[in-house]
Chains A and B, each alone.
Chain A
Amino acid sequence: DTAVSQTPKYLVTQMGNDKSIKCEQNLGHDTMYWYKQDSKKFLKIMFSYNNKELIINETVPNRFSPKSPDKAHLNLHINSLELGDSAVYFCASNLRGTDYNEQFFGPGTRLTVL
């Protein structure tokens, strides 16, 4: 299948644990993103990354770190999970400079911290 995929779809874990969410795109895009959607459905950018440049939303705690082994992957690692980290995390990707800059989204990972 083509598109942006994320694993796992659901993640339930205890406070204080460290976890990773994986994202892969096979669209040949050069830029990937992580967004957080809270319980009220508000969506906010966390990171954008294109191999050369990582742009971090300054409101994101440094417990969150993106890791990119190659252009097709951008994983999200979270240390010392807190209750407030419970949310749906969406990965997205696009190709910089293309017409209208459409971003393609993954299906989301629902993280629940107990």
Chain B
Amino acid sequence: GEDVEQSLFLSVREGDSSVINCTYTDSSSTYLYWYKQEPGAGLQLLTYIFSNMDMKQDQRLTVLLNKKDKHLSLRIADTQTGDSAIYFCAENLAGANNLFFGTGTRLTVIP
């Protein structure tokens, strides 16, 4: 559960879609999460997906889960400047309470 990887940086133009990817290693994860961290702030849960689901949509956010490849992605449609932040994927292993976080992706939205 400790090798959760993400690309470190992503830049997109305002109005475009952003796709943030995450690769995890532990197939026993029950839930996978996306957290957002704005500058100088704590983490906020954006969305989550249960491990038996392939996709979840929540307004501008779409989460895709490929369990075979242990790949999780977050798509943000119509990206806004307020979406600029660091995005962390995280997994919650079966039987454990704490989260294992990815390395974080810093999303920069260019006006």
Instruction: State the interface size on chain B (CB cutoff 8 A).
Output: 22
Q: Choose one: A35, A42, A100, A107; the contact of B48 (CB below 8 Å).
A: A100
Cα–Cα distance between A109 and B20 once the two chains are bound (Å) = 27
Whether a CB of chain A sits under 8 angstroms from the CB of B24 is no
Segment with Cβ contacts to A, from B11-19, B61-69, B73-81, B94-102 = B94-102
Interface residues of A in 18-67 (CB under 8 A from B): 31, 33, 35, 40-45, 48, 50, 55
Contacting pair B104 A42 (CB below 8 A): yes
Contacting pair B50 A100 (CB below 8 A): yes
Interface residues of B in 67-111 (CB under 8 A from A): 86, 88, 92, 97-101, 103-104, 106
Chain B residues with Cβ below 8 Å from A105 are: 35, 42-44
Whether a CB of chain A sits under 8 angstroms from the CB of B45 is yes
Contacting pair B103 A102 (CB below 8 A): no
CB-nearest residue of chain A to B99: A103
Cα–Cα distance between A67 and B23 once the two chains are bound (Å) = 35
Cα–Cα distance between A36 and B31 once the two chains are bound (Å) = 22
CB-nearest residue of chain B to A57: B98
Q: Choose one: B45, B50, B88; the contact of A43 (CB below 8 Å).
A: B88
Q: Choose one: B48, B97, B100, B103; the contact of A31 (CB below 8 Å).
A: B97
Contacting pair A43 B101 (CB below 8 A): yes
Contacting pair B98 A45 (CB below 8 A): yes
Cα–Cα distance between A45 and B99 once the two chains are bound (Å) = 7
List B residues at the A interface (Cβ < 8 Å): 31, 33, 35, 37, 41-45, 48, 50, 86, 88, 92, 97-101, 103-104, 106
* Sample of 21 A–B contacts (CB below 8 Å): A33-B98, A40-B103, A41-B37, A41-B106, A43-B88, A44-B101, A45-B98, A50-B97, A55-B97, A55-B98, A100-B31, A100-B48, A100-B50, A101-B31, A101-B92, A101-B97, A102-B48, A103-B99, A105-B35, A105-B43, A107-B41
Add 11 more A-B contacts to A31-B97, A94-B97, A96-B97 (CB < 8 A).
A33-B97, A41-B86, A41-B104, A41-B106, A42-B104, A43-B88, A55-B97, A100-B50, A102-B45, A103-B45, A104-B45
